[in-house]
Structure 1
Amino acid sequence: MALAGTLVATLGLAACSKDPEPAPTTPTVTVDASVDPSKTDAPTPEGPIVYPLTGIKVDEVPQRPAIAVKVENTAAARPQSGLEDADIVWETVVEFEVPRFIAVYHSKTPESVGPVRSARPVDLHVAAPMHALLVASGAQKRMNIRIGRLPEIQSISHDAGAAGLGRISTRRAPHNVYADLATIWKSADANHSAPPSGELKFALEADEATAVVDGKGAKNIAISLSSAARPAWAWDAGSSTWLRSEGSAKAMTAAGTQLAATNLVLIESEQVDSKLDAQGGAMVPDQKFKGKGKALVATGGKVVEATWKKAGVSDPLELVDADGEPILLAPGTTWIEMLNKGKSSYTVD
């Protein structure tokens, strides 16, 4: 009996030493908590509607493409018509050190633009990224072939009889071809009818532009593009624009106003031989506008150093600061001076 009692006690102790059965688990139920709306993140508001090439606010963007017009810039061509209405104006150097403009239009429709001259290889870098209509008096055969190889560009040529281009009687040839943009816009084909995507980046307000926030004060910018091209720009606080001169003479429009720009951009890129010959075998230059290089951006009476980037002919131009952040321009017109690296120069004071 004592043995049996001991065995029972031992078994009872063993039974008590076993792990207890796990308690039944209660399923987890997730209930959305009620959150004070004032403590949630505010929704991102839609930005204002702006013209893609100027950043100026507008109720509705015109459903039409950009037009890039090749405009002469010699003494015989001045004063030009329509430059004051361009969204962007590029100044480049062609053969014989002569400057020419590529005036880009989208937001405004001037009555007349000109004098219009022939296309050059550098024009492709400007027109292709915007899928623009490239307006010129004509081009040599090999240049027309190059234009035809870029589906991003629609050629509008006076030599080819395009509507909207004609000669005026008050000037002598070849300085008398002028463009009617209202008519030319009607010629846009299905592949070149959409508004341009903006390459340049704009602040919502002028005082938020990169140069205004981070730049150094500047009153005058004198540029030596070539032996025949020495534009100068002076800051005018009254109009909040940079006013242009050709050397020491004010650069005027046909309407009698001085040419002005909200933003001025200087780009340094190497000038190269395009392999297209001009009169007497003269070299027709192109720009090595691929990769990256130095730039200067002037806005609001201030300047800031920048870097330009461009992957290829049809790729957009980027302007970035030392940290790689986009340069923001003030809403308005922009003039871009394309300097020949190593030969062109500028001074700021």
Structure 2
Amino acid sequence: MATVGTADKARARRGRTTAALLAAAVAASLAAGCTSGDGPKGDGRGADREPGHSRAAEGPVLAVKIDNSRRARPHTGLNSADLVYVEQVEGGMSRLMAVYASKLPKDVGPVRSARETDLELLRQFRQPVLAFSGAQSKLMPLIGAAPLRAEPPGRTSDAYHRDTTRPAPHNLYLRPSALLPEAPGAAALTTGFSYGPAPEGGTADTSETVRYPAARFTFTWSASRAGWLVSMDGEDTTTTDAGRVAPATVVVQYVTLRKSDYYDSLGNNTPFTETVGKGRAKVLRDGKAFDVTWSRPTATDGTRFTTEDGERVDFAEGQVWVVFAKA
């Protein structure tokens, strides 16, 4: 039988002592992280970002590019998103990007390709996961270099599946659980948005319409739903899994659209939506419209919305839609 010498015993004691000290240090670090907040006040990531929401984000948000052509509707999983961005793409059409943090639906889709605009927009989040069906070959290196986790089909086993009852390419769906073990929580939404009572003033407003060259969005206030019923191209926006879409807050954000270096197969240029800078916006909540100013100093900042006198504009609790409209 082998015996343990004095030197071996001493080394073992030192190893146990080092392990205990390391464990204590890690525990202290975690405890400090849980009480110190997630960023300095006012930086778009800190304590004043979302009053009433936990600060302890457990992981990255999931952003999914969603097809919005007529043949792609009704969508699946859209009502579960915390945030939905609407952007103009080539040919004057629209594309959605749904962002998930509070909960993950079973399926999301139909999933379509990414655009250059998405990369700047996603810089506000910490290492987000981007689910998309592909992109132009010239854009793929930029996606690969961006501070995000790109998850196109084929990257993760069983993350995507096809609905054979729908025509391709409008039938690709994502299983979010294949990419994230669980929802990270609302604190992962480093958007700069804040939630609370409506500001003073505003004007009564029950319907607003935003038009793109080849798309139309109408938001109609519903007191019974405490939200804005969405219609696209004159048709009610419904989902296959959760009925009619009715976000609590809608933001019409007026932005600069410029030509990008990218074109589709028909030669149509893909517009780039400038989401860094400042401009005017209209916030719809509680059956009222508020004319506000938006500001996003850098790509890593969230977007702040303020009144004419500089007061922060809070959103209603619930889903938010941000519709980028040409200034």
TM-score range, shorter chain: 0.7 to 0.9
CA distance in 2 between counterparts of 1:128 and 1:237 reads 35
CA distance in 1 between counterparts of 2:315 and 2:185 reads 26
Q: Verify the 8 A CA contact 2:102 2:185 in the aligned structure 1.
A: no
Which residue is equivalent to 1:198? 190
Which residue is equivalent to 1:69? 64
TM-score, normalised to structure 1, is 0.74
Which residue is equivalent to 1:148? 144
Out of 337, 342, 346, which is 2:323 matched to?
337
Which residue is equivalent to 1:219? 206
Which residue is equivalent to 1:269? 255
After superposition, residues 177-326 of structure 1 pair within 5 angstroms as: 177-186=172-181, 196-204=188-196, 208-210=197-199, 213-224=200-211, 226-255=212-241, 257-326=243-312
Identity of aligned residues (%): 30
1:160-181 per-residue CA deviation (whole Å, 9 max, x = no partner) reads: 4565122222222111111111
1:88 deviates by 0.3
1:247 deviates by 3.2
1:187 deviates by 11
1:97 deviates by 1.1
1:103-143 per-residue CA deviation (whole Å, 9 max, x = no partner) reads: 00010111100000000011123322112111101112221
CA distance in 2 between counterparts of 1:198 and 1:288 reads 18
Instruction: Go from structure 1 to structure 2 and tell me whether the alpha carbon gap of 1:339 and 1:159 turns closer, same or farther (over 3 Å shift).
Output: farther
Gaps of 5+ in 1: 1-45, 342-349
Q: Verify the 8 A CA contact 1:64 1:195 in the aligned structure 2.
A: no
Helix, strand or coil at the partner of 1:328: coil
Which residue is equivalent to 1:34? none
CA distance in 2 between counterparts of 1:199 and 1:60 reads 13
Instruction: Go from structure 1 to structure 2 and tell me whether the alpha carbon gap of 1:187 and 1:86 turns closer, same or farther (over 3 Å shift).
Output: closer
CA distance in 2 between counterparts of 1:138 and 1:162 reads 16
Q: Is 2:130 the counterpart of 1:134?
A: yes
TM-score, normalised to structure 2, is 0.79
Instruction: Go from structure 1 to structure 2 and tell me whether the alpha carbon gap of 1:247 and 1:140 turns closer, same or farther (over 3 Å shift).
Output: closer
Q: Is 2:116 the counterpart of 1:121?
A: yes
Comparing 307-316 with 64-73, which one deviates more in the overlay?
307-316
> How many residue pairs align between the two structures?
281
Which residue is equivalent to 2:8? none
Q: Verify the 8 A CA contact 2:57 2:186 in the aligned structure 1.
A: no
CA distance in 2 between counterparts of 1:167 and 1:311 reads 40
Tell me which amino acid in the other structure corresponds to 1:324: G
Instruction: Go from structure 1 to structure 2 and tell me whether the alpha carbon gap of 1:256 and 1:140 turns closer, same or farther (over 3 Å shift).
Output: same
Tell me which amino acid in the other structure corresponds to 1:199: T
CA distance in 2 between counterparts of 1:154 and 1:331 reads 28
CA distance in 2 between counterparts of 1:187 and 1:272 reads 37
1:151-196 per-residue CA deviation (whole Å, 9 max, x = no partner) reads: 2x111111545651222222221111111111111499xxx99952
Higher Rg: 1
CA RMSD across the alignment: 2.7
Tell me which amino acid in the other structure corresponds to 2:77: G
Tell me which amino acid in the other structure corresponds to 2:134: G
CA distance in 2 between counterparts of 1:92 and 1:122 reads 8
